[in-house]
A and B are shown apart, each in its own frame.
Chain A
Amino acid sequence: MKSVEELKAIREKALKEISIRENEDKTRIVVGMATCGIAAGARPVMNAFIEELEKRNIRNVTVSMTGCIGICRLEPVAEVIEANGQKTTYVKLDAEKARRIVAEHIVNQKPVTEFTIGAAER
């Protein structure tokens, strides 16, 4: 270790790895991954969320899975739950839509209305 900068660089990189274990409040993306969801293609959706967050270096968002959300016909389904408890439910997702949700909802804080359950039900 020849300089403090070197240490900082390692820290940045390693922090990304373990930020999932930080206990602070953060936004959660929860993907429905019961049998119905997996059959409908939830796994590529989840991977797309993870990759996109990683690519954009976003750390305060975690991706986790949940069982059947109870709306099988609209799968794949994901919920974005913000630190303040506000919940947005997205339906009939694919990898492309997942990336847009990260870009617009997570980064620009504008929910993608056209993918939400409200839009689908209309």
Chain B
Amino acid sequence: MVYRSHVLICNGTGCTASKAPEIMARLEKELAAKGIEKEVKIVKTGCFGLCEKGPIMVIYPEGATYCHVTPDDVEEIVNEHLVKGRIVKRLLLGDKDVEDVARSLDNVGFFNRQVRVALRNCGVINPENIEEYIARDGYAALAKAVTEMTPQQVIDEIKKSGLRGRGGGGFPTGLKWQFAAKEVNDVKYVCCNADEGDPGAFMDRSILEGDPHSVLEAMAIAGYAIGSNQGYIYVRAEYPIAVQRLKIAIQQAKDYGLLGNNIFGTDFSFDIDIRLGAGAFVCGEETALMTSIEGKRGEPRTRPPFPAVKGLWGKPTILNNVETYANIPVILLKGADWFSSIGTEKSKGTKVFAVGGKINNTGLVEIPMGMTLREVIYDIGGGIPKGKKFKAAQTGGPSGGCIPASHIDVPIDYDNLIELGSMMGSGGLIVMDEDTCMVDIAKFFLEFTVDESCGKCPPCRIGTKRMLEILERITSGRGEEGDIEKLETLAESIKQGALCGLGQTAPNPVLSTLRYFRDEYEAHVKEHKCPAGVCKALLKYMIIPEKCKGCSLCSRKCPVNAISGEVKKPYVIDQSKCIKCGVCMETCKFAAIEKK
């Protein structure tokens, strides 16, 4: 049976939370009521990257993309679009007045500047149907590898493509595979890092939810390349939908003989199992991850020996990130030359970012390496809300740093970001506007690392806590002369002395904000002021006598009765009583209250 129309409904984590399942149920009911359930196919997909605008629904062949769909909109969509062929313009994403909405998805700035390699199937196929993946050339790369190429040829192709690890470090993937392939051992392992600990990041989750087979296929290819028969996916237990889709995908791949023994009739056999992580950030670190898979407490150990030599259960092991794997099948099919034609000299291909913070279009975007931050923020991201000024963007999460507005035109790639004192990281990108306090941001990330430090080595366990104490002092108005210098000395010794990447990179958010926004730190310490007006303890709410009409509204709203005065004369705030809740400022109709 061929359907004349496909209705794709996002079933990613975001849209599932915003009622996608109810919408599916309503759709089934309405289609049946109209007697067209045999003409229209309902397809569950993974994340489109537009979670903020979800639930998302796309109807083909028109390609009309509807956003913020509610269960109550379904009847209209069925009546108008599916029965009468009239697009429901009020629900369209982007330009609602376009005449030819056909292909509206491509016409939206959010999408048409993106280059989708790792996300090629997300939002296009049903992730729970292996045949849809196969239709999009799925498993053809594995077929090619095992039937036409030698393991060394596979490794050479990956090396030539210039692919670097997308999990943060940016280590060349082909080289990593080469090291493991060189080891002589009957047992080797292929691991996938789906721990995704960076707060605010959800690239890997989206790939697992939207295109799980691409990761399975790539792991099998890696297995063939290094001589391994067993793979493990380490995924955090907080990703129930991703875990479920992975389980379904593994079962289907086994049923189709794409995992298991004698794949494509060759003597190559490969299996994959899932291991659930408890969600500790440090378990994303490679040695900790492997100890955790072994069933022990996830703590890092010293390297060398590197996992390629002695990894899981002491055997040669490779570990790659979800997004790294998602690129592999395309590279083998389209060729290393095609892949390396995208990107910059030393950073090839694309990178997926989870763009969040003060930006209009939050969501998942995949851009060619070398695109500037300005293009990401303004062309794809739609700019900063309320016309505010861009101040900085944080990449690399708690291990990274910020890129200030003065560097907004720098092409994004591994090396440029390092040079700016930040890093690519796994792909979190938090946009900050003029109302953001950089000391407060640094404190936020440091709080995260202090919480997540495993405590094994003192520089990290004690050092980061000392740094946090200083930051807490500074942001509460008790900063002292010399605090900034103390932060710098501590940062240096932690970087030198910490055992694993968590500790080694923990000071980065502080160092990078110090590098670009030292004056803000100084204002906090020396003048006890927060220039962005964020740090509560340093703020003062004050009534501007010239503007105050004496209406008394604020004094009635203040929860602690800190405001007093005579009607029709300027009111005053008793600073000793004020708890800085901000209610008065919101209440005043004459903009007579300021915070400083």
User: Which A positions have Cβ atoms within 8 angstroms of B?
Assistant: 1-4, 7, 10-11, 13-18, 20-21, 23, 28, 30-31, 33-34, 46, 50, 53-54, 62-67
Contact = CB atoms under 8 A, between A and B. Distances in A.
A11 B134 contact: yes
12 contacts: A1-B256, A4-B147, A10-B256, A11-B140, A14-B132, A18-B132, A20-B3, A21-B8, A33-B84, A33-B85, A65-B82, A65-B84
B135 interface: yes
Given A7-B139, A21-B124, A1 B258 contact: yes
B264 A1 contact: yes
Given A3-B265, A54-B2, A65 B8 contact: no
A16 B265 CA distance: 26
Interface of B: 2-6, 8, 39, 60-63, 82-86, 102-103, 105-106, 124-125, 131-132, 134-137, 139-140, 143, 147, 256-258, 262-265
Of B8, B106, B135, the most chain A CB neighbours within 10 A belong to B135
B263 A64 contact: no
A13 B86 contact: no
B2 A50 contact: yes
Of A14, A63, A67, the most chain B CB neighbours within 10 A belong to A14
A85 to B, nearest CB: 10
Contact of A15 (B3, B60, B63, B135): B135
Nearest to A2: B265
A53 B4 CA distance: 11
Contacts of A33: 83-85
A67 B257 contact: no
Given A50-B2, A67-B86, A7 B60 contact: no
B61 A2 contact: no
- Sorted from nearest, which 5 A-B pairs have the closest CB atoms? A65-B85, A62-B61, A14-B135, A1-B257, A66-B85
Contacts of A16: 2
B305 to A, nearest CB: 37
B313 to A, nearest CB: 29
Contacts of A17: 2, 131-132, 135
A62 B61 CA distance: 6
A53 B103 CA distance: 22
B134 A14 contact: yes
A15 B134 CA distance: 8
Given A11-B140, A63-B4, A66-B86, A20 B60 contact: yes
B132 A64 contact: no
A46 B134 CA distance: 29
Given A10-B134, A14-B134, A64 B8 contact: no
Given A20-B60, A23-B106, 6 more contacts: A1-B257, A14-B135, A17-B2, A28-B61, A50-B2, A50-B39
A28 B102 CA distance: 11
A20 B134 contact: no
A67 B264 contact: no
Contact of B257 (A2, A23, A66): A2
B46 to A, nearest CB: 14
B462 to A, nearest CB: 55
A23 B103 contact: yes
Nearest to A28: B61
B36 to A, nearest CB: 9
Contacts of A3: 264-265
Contacts of B82: 65
B58 to A, nearest CB: 8
A20 B61 CA distance: 6
Contacts of A31: 85
Contacts of B103: 23
Contacts of B6: 18, 20-21
A64 B6 CA distance: 11
